[in-house]
């Protein structure tokens, strides 16, 4: 039975366990530590700090975020965007929503570059220029914050605290959730500033997905299995780890769906 427990099932199990563990703080907190996944640190159950929120505040303070950047960089170099695929609770939500029936669309490739100006403008530049409390920061539109903090607060107060800021957040959340239903991991691909931070580190991260090149028969199964639609076969064919892509979330689906994952036995010929 354990043999049948595929890597996809393992990943789902890790995602669910992470969701519970990341949001189970009963009092003690490790909020001095940034965990680079989209989970709002203002949530009363959160253990860790959100790097985006910390960067926004440090930009407003005009200070360099030594610890927050150091931790994000450290994890990014070690495992790349593995956290996006295996730990991020908002990623889990998108994965589940994409399984709902309905029309599915592929986003144009250029949309994957929107997250970089989002990172620069809404996380660093505008909070630096307009202080951390500005309306033009990512926290003001963050869908995770809307889901974990704004909505529970509104329900708790019988919608007495409903204002323009809450309306904007909830509207963005609705759009993001709708996007997740029609396009796989659309928020991760288009808007996520943590994804934008970690994406370049995918190229050098020590974590590598290994699919034997010599066995590739160009069946295209990895292409259809990939939730990020990053065409892993093009890199497999060039003997490059498939996770060497900006938008790869290191889910290992390409590796597990490969029908020929084991190296072929070498044939010995007589001279």
Partner 1 sequence: MTRTAKERIAAALLLVMALVLLLAGGMRSYKVYDRSDGEFGLLTFTRISDSELVVDATFSGVERQGDRLYTTYDRNAPRGKRSCPT
Residues lying near partner 1 in the complex (CB under 8 A) = 27, 29, 31-34, 40-44, 49-50, 53-54, 57-58, 60-63, 65-71, 73-74, 76-78, 131-133, 139-140, 145, 149-150, 153, 165, 201, 203-206, 240
In the structure encoding, which two tokens stand for residue 105, read together? 């669309």
| Exposure class string for 92-122: b at 16+ Cβ within 10 A, else e | bbbbebbeeeeeeeebeeeebeebbebbebb
Q: Which is nearer to partner 1, 63 or 217 (CB)?
A: 63
Least Å distance between CB 140 and partner 1? Answer: 7
Least Å distance between CB 248 and partner 1? Answer: 15
Least Å distance between CB 209 and partner 1? Answer: 14
Task: Please report which helix (H) or strand (E) contains residue 161, including its range.
Answer: none
In the structure encoding, which two tokens stand for residue 244, read together? 């060497």
Q: Which is nearer to partner 1, 44 or 237 (CB)?
A: 44
Q: Which is nearer to partner 1, 13 or 44 (CB)?
A: 44
Q: Which is nearer to partner 1, 150 or 256 (CB)?
A: 150
Residue tagged 């994965």 (tokens): 95
Q: Which is nearer to partner 1, 43 or 181 (CB)?
A: 43
Q: Which is nearer to partner 1, 71 or 236 (CB)?
A: 71
- The count of other CB atoms within 10 Å of the CB of residue 39 is 26
Least Å distance between CB 1 and partner 1? Answer: 38
Least Å distance between CB 79 and partner 1? Answer: 11
Least Å distance between CB 75 and partner 1? Answer: 8
Q: Which is nearer to partner 1, 19 or 52 (CB)?
A: 52
DSSP string, 171-229: HHHHHHHHHHHHSTTHHHHHT-HHHHHHGGGGGT-S------GGG-----HHHHH-TT-
Least Å distance between CB 31 and partner 1? Answer: 5
Residues in contact with 27: Cβ distance below 8 Å, sequence separation at least 6, in sequence order: none
Give strand ranges (E) for the chain. Answer: 30-34, 48-49
66-79 helix and 51-61 helix, angle to the nearest 10 degrees: 150
Q: Are 97 and 181 in contact (CB under 8 A)?
A: yes
């Amino acid at each position: 039975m354990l043999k049948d427990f595929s890597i996809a099932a393992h990943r789902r199990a890790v995602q669910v366990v992470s969701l519970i563990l990341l949001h189970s703080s009963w009092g003690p907190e490790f909020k001095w530590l940034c965990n680079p996944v989209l989970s709002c640190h203002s949530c009363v159950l959160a253990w860790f700090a959100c790097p985006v929120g910390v960067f926004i505040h440090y930009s407003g303070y005009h200070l360099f975020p030594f610890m927050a950047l150091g931790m994000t960089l450290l994890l990014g170099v070690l495992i790349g965007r593995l956290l996006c695929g295996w730990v991020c609770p908002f990623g889990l939500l998108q994965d589940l929503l994409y399984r709902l029936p309905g029309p599915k669309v592929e986003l144009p490739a250029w949309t994957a570059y929107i997250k970089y100006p989002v990172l620069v403008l809404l996380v660093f530049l505008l909070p630096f220029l307009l202080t951390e409390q500005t309306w033009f920061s990512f926290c003001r539109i963050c869908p995770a914050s809307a889901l974990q903090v704004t909505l529970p607060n509104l329900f708790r107060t019988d919608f007495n605290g409903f204002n323009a800021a809450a309306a904007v957040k909830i509207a963005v959340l609705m759009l993001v959730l709708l996007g997740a239903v029609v396009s796989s991991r659309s928020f991760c691909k288009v808007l996520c500033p943590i994804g934008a931070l970690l994406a370049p580190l995918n190229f050098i991260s020590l974590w590598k997905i290994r699919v034997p090149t010599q066995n590739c028969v160009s069946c295209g199964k990895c292409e259809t299995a990939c939730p990020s639609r990053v065409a892993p076969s093009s890199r497999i064919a060039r003997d490059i780890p498939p996770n060497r892509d900006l938008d790869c979330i290191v889910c290992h689906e390409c590796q597990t769906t490969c029908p020929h994952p084991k190296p072929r036995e070498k044939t010995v010929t007589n001279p």
